Structure 1
């Protein structure tokens, strides 16, 4: 839950930025890489070597007074540890336990400010990164302990939350302490309550908090600060700190944090085979960032506690994370993914709907479909099952499909009457059952269709035949927004491609959205989540026309067959229209597999990495969205990108000579090894493959490979081969395969065969 780090001014959604922005404090909780407003950053602390002339009011209390540059080159970071030195020559090291941050401040022997005695002062402010505090309290104990709490607003949702802290200090004798308001401090007052405005939308930003000042530190000019956090109470924040870090042992706490990370990362092993340091750093960074969220808040939920059930938070947002974060966690940490699924169901149990986005116990904004449906079905298909109530899970999915919530901006789906009666979400829809932002009619239609496809998979698995047929039928609703004669122009020139999704009104007539609108080629930011947004979300019609993950065979046929589909996909990637920094572009890298051209997917993967994903400051092309970019990066480099919600992994050559994954359920190891591996990236075309020594021609894998272990060997060459191109080699789909000459029927690749694939064994392990 606790993620300590420095906070900067400017672009500070995750607190820190690797630029020259100044530091305003060090806070204890963060969300990583989110869009929208900055998140968390509650109760920042800030060290000062002393106050000029010993005058307490000559120290800096407000955030704008505290701003201090960093020393260039002083940042050192690794999992479990962060270290930075400020221009004041104060070095701050930090590490964490589950609910507690531990800082080690090393002060200069002589403060850089003239006429300043070395009497370190540490300020704690009742504030968060986006400055949303509406009220708060702080108490200063006789021993210098600071406790308190405040109410804040989430960064991408509705409502508010209350957070509590408990800060203790070690390493020097207490000289004096007190509270502050605005830029003035008092050493006499030991309690302060700051009242907020009347409404949550008008927060109080008046600086307020507490401070402690010390005599010269006992040794090494170091003072440790321990900050326990809780969403329950000040007492629980203190109990968390005292239980987790009782002795202020920085080195011991760091060692435990490093071991926790090592345990998570050690399920992967690679043989680089000469792959560059850039690629290796990019890969491990991607894996690391994928494990930061969702966050385990079990025992810290102030609203309910279901005996034996976990509670996870910071689902930022499932529209982003279902595609690659949760599939990667399923591969690398299936136990945690099981707990996350159980937590989603417990949220449904108490809130009445699955979340599509959630942070700080608040409902986050829904960007499109009801995508927890995909996460849950993906989990079922991949044996994530221990302790999961599948009857409850199915009930939750049917609720998304059938019952429109009062406010579908923050949960569920809107426009369900039209969805059921018309078979699409109309532009300018009349919705009398709920309220929400009436935009994104195209993207919501194709996303609702895939949500229903996933529900159909679970319905069949659980024996609900009538529901299976109903939701499978609804999953084809994307066709109802396909306008077969719609052309696409760029600067007045016909692209040569006809047939795109288009807005459609309730009476069945067509509207118009330029197919390149909301792409880098035309008004890139025109389709955000606002009342004037377009009919697609964060992407153009071109992109969403490719979105039929459950029925790619029909889509390929609709777009003119495999050859024309490949040309269209090439144009999308090569015209400058594709922005890989948004999650819905991920799958488009690998759709060539369905057309029997897996080599083209490999080409695209090796284009985007390392050109867009690397170890530079610009090495994340968009908002990381709690690890979405990192998980795309990691899975692509592993050579096994998933079609989330299905038991399908697309095979492309890993970026290393070999990569192995040890499964947390079975203990078995799956290895993918490249033969003729070329670290320069020339040999990216699979010529042939063997699975456990037997020839393997399918261009996709099932999850059983990772559960049962084994070795997939890929023989590489410099040009495209016939491997994985046959009708029987492509991933499953509802309709017949559209590859080859566009007329072949699917056998192994057909969705009819898909239903007959052997079910994975239902494994159990200790919760």
Structure 2
């Protein structure tokens, strides 16, 4: 902590706890509104505590084979409390390329397992207990029950392992290139082809082709006097220098790799340095040389540089006030928001030119509302790189991806949503983000809207699942903004007209979406999305009073507490939960923007109550501190924005304003510094503090922006990104602030 203007501001890097979200949800029993919300998705954050670099290509962590990151104890589940796969924390080694906070995306990586051993090679694949774990941004350490202390750090494209051995006559470091995926049914990824080569003392390299992607690794180690050998099927190949496998199937796979073996003194350390590339072993070697430098050992050098990169990123948001617990959850939320997507410069295996290659966009459905606007604010260069990569994927594969993994497939995840890249592109254009050819981007925005569900939308103005009608109409609205700006009037007019098609998704008799199939939710969860013409949408519900009444029912005002799904809930229990038509409470993505729908009906005080309940009761310190899957940082980004008292309306270049959780915050957005300060702020403990667990919400009484009165409960994104000062006067009772001047709506043009 350091002092500024008589107050204390958190040294945010030191507050990060990578263990938050790694275990089943363990939060205090909620009170009030939060007790009425129902959680359909797995009650576990699905994060891992491994070493990561901000938006980097490589991560590394202890590997047990558990779902879904390879770390931990849990089996695969899609509903309720997760079942344990193992009775203890354990590991068979340390793998690379982990997901972060995802669920059933069926792509789990965990490539290139490294195992320090004092056992015979026959025991490779056995798991040993983990103890004395330590994790911080860019660093992970644990001790195996074998007595080996294991430390890992990573750079953007490298990993460095450091093992401290007990005294032993035959210690070894084993590298298994055959591993991929998880130890669950249908979770394994098998290499299609592979090549491993020993290229001199302490140096080796190899390439494995996983799902059509050639992953290359170049490695060095400082093991003077140790033997270096290749192995196959847990048998040493004495004198062999190369292994080649032209075709591998599940039935023919046998583990293979390389090892280094020798005697150790008590406390002797061995360092293994690994460079990765998707463009061959030579580039993997150059990546290692670039990040590790010419001298060994390199562990402390890489760890220090990665920590500095984390400091640079997370220090772009600073907060003051609040409890230590709340600051810890906030700092960790910011950290989790900056792990994915993985953005690797000049590494695309699918096109030969230079430029960024982004993968682990898992998925846009998870991140487009909250995380991408956060990247646009605090990491605009990387945000631009992500969009450039998405445009290139569209060029190569014909579609903007809803999700994109380390494998071809822009058409995967299409059931979740349509046209979500358009929202990020519209916001980027409004911010005048450099480095993008907007005329060329517009070509792909327009073409993408004619593919998959978009074809039927063009012909009929409505598609099912009905949520895709909302997506596509919004995609046309976003496309119209860019088209108008680059003076393509014909496309702009046509897109604006088609953007009006959102209305076809609603049943005028109920003011809700029409009956349809819904992905992870029901029509109530999707009916309160922040579309571009909220004034007309509220009109469908009978006006402000009718719309607020529907929202009140959805958020459980006056409702009894509900029971959450337990372990292995049956279909009857789940159906009864869905029939509640209730807010999913940040356990799932579809309705995470719904609390701010009140703003458009002149009731920002209701937003304050709902958001306050979520911040207080649904997030906490400790491994069980998340209410559901973190979803590649989408959930954590929600927490960051909500704590700052802002919420981005993706695709509309707009922020909605609410009472913040901290007394003061500074957001370094682009080149500007946006300050959010308050008067009358009450320190509100987070629920897990064990103090006052039901503090009242606070409400905005009045506001000024750069010293001038702000009567509406919204700001343009330009106001935030250019920097300035937002002052909010808070009080314990609702006020009429923001009730008259509503956030803008964008009705269809006349004629």
TM-score bracket for the superposition, by shorter chain length:
0.7 to 0.9
Residue in structure 2 matched with residue 488 of structure 1 by the alignment: none
Cα offsets for 1:449-474 (capped at 9, x unmatched): 11112112222222233322322222
Question: In structure 2, the residue corresponding to 1:421 is in which secondary structure?
Answer: helix
Is 1:270 the equivalent of 2:319?
Answer: yes
Q: Is 1:378 aligned to residue 438 of structure 2?
A: no
SS at structure 1 position matched to 2:176 = strand
C-alpha offsets along residues 40-70 of structure 1, whole Å, 9 cap, x if unaligned?
211111101x23xxxx45x522x2x2x1111
Q: 1:671 to 1:141 in 2, by over 3 A?
A: same
RMSD over equivalenced CA pairs, Å: 2.3
How many angstroms does 1:312 deviate by? 2.3
Distance in 1, matches of 2:531 and 2:498, equals 14
Summarize the Cα distance change of 1:613–1:542 in structure 2 as closer, same or farther, 3 Å threshold. Answer: same
Question: Is residue 9 of structure 1 aligned with residue 65 of structure 2?
Answer: yes
Are 2:489 and 1:465 equivalent residues in the alignment?
yes
Equivalent residue runs for 1:270-669 within 5 Å: 270-272=319-321, 275-307=322-354, 309-363=355-409, 364-366=412-414, 367-384=416-433, 386-402=434-450, 404=451, 413-414=452-453, 416=455, 418-426=456-464, 441-485=465-509, 498-503=510-515, 535-547=517-529, 549-574=531-556, 577-579=582-584, 580-664=586-670, 666=671, 668-669=672-673
Which residue does the alignment assign to 2:711?
A: 697
* Distance (whole Å) between structure 1 residues aligned to residue 312 and residue 539 of structure 2: 46
- Pick aligned residue for 2:281 from 234, 242, 245: 234
Q: Is the CA contact (8 Å cut-off) linking 2:361 and 2:403 kept in structure 1?
A: yes
**Structure 2 residue 733 is matched with structure 1 residue 733:** no
1:713 aligns with 2:718: no
Gaps of 5+ in 1: 112-116, 154-159, 405-412, 427-440, 486-497, 504-512, 514-534, 736-750, 753-767
Q: Which runs of 5+ in 2 are unaligned?
A: 1-56, 75-86, 183-187, 560-579, 685-694
For residues 260 and 236 of structure 2, what CA distance do their matches in structure 1 show? Answer: 11
Structure 2 matches for 1:198-217, cutoff 5 A? 205-216=253-264
Query: Higher relative contact order at CA 8 Å, sep ≥6: structure 1 or structure 2?
Result: 2
Specify whether residues 233 and 423 from structure 1 end up closer, same or farther in structure 2 by C-alpha distance, changes over 3 A only. Answer: same
SS in 1 for 2:128: coil
| C-alpha distance in 2 between matches for 1:76 and 1:617 | 13
Q: 1:700 to 1:548 in 2, by over 3 A?
A: closer
**Among 91, 97, 108, the residue aligned to 2:155:** 97
* Offset of residue 125 of structure 1: 3.6
Contact 1:676 1:683 in 2 (8 A): no
Aligned pair count? 636
1:670 aligns with 2:682: no
Q: In the TM superposition, what is the alpha-carbon distance from 1:382 to its structure 2 partner?
A: 2.3
Q: Deviations over 1:150-172 (max 9, x none)?
A: 1223xxxxxx3221112221154
Distance in structure 1 (CA, Å) of the matches to 2:71 and 2:657: 37
Distance 2:270 2:494 in 1: 65
For residue 135 of structure 2, the aligned residue among 45, 63, 77 is 77
What is the CA distance between 1:284 and its match in structure 2? Answer: 0.9
- Structure 1 distance, partners of 2:552, 2:151, is 48
Deviation at 1:424, TM superposition (A): 0.3
TM-score w.r.t. length of structure 2? 0.81
Alpha-carbon separation, structure 1, partners of 2:518 and 2:68: 28
Query: 1: CA distance between counterparts of 2:443 and 2:432?
Result: 19
Q: CA deviation at 1:271?
A: 1.1
Aligned to 1:359, the other structure's residue is in SS state coil
- 1:323–1:583 Cα contact (<8 Å) kept: no
Secondary structure of the residue aligned to 2:729 is strand
Could you tell me how far apart the structure 1 residues matched to 2:729 and 2:201 are? 67
Q: TM-score, normalised by structure 1?
A: 0.79
Is the Cα contact below 8 Å between 1:132 and 1:204 reproduced in 2? no
Greater radius of gyration (CA): 1
Query: How far does the alpha carbon of each residue in 1:587-615 deviate from its partner, in whole angstroms, 9 at most, with x for none?
Result: 11211111111111111111111322222
| Alpha-carbon distance in 2 for matches of 1:40, 1:15 | 12
Moved more, 208-217 or 100-109: 208-217
Superimposed CA distance per residue, residues 343-375 of structure 1 (whole angstroms, 9 cap, x where no aligned partner): 222333333332222111422422211211111
Q: State whether structure 2 residue 116 is matched by structure 1 residue 60.
A: no
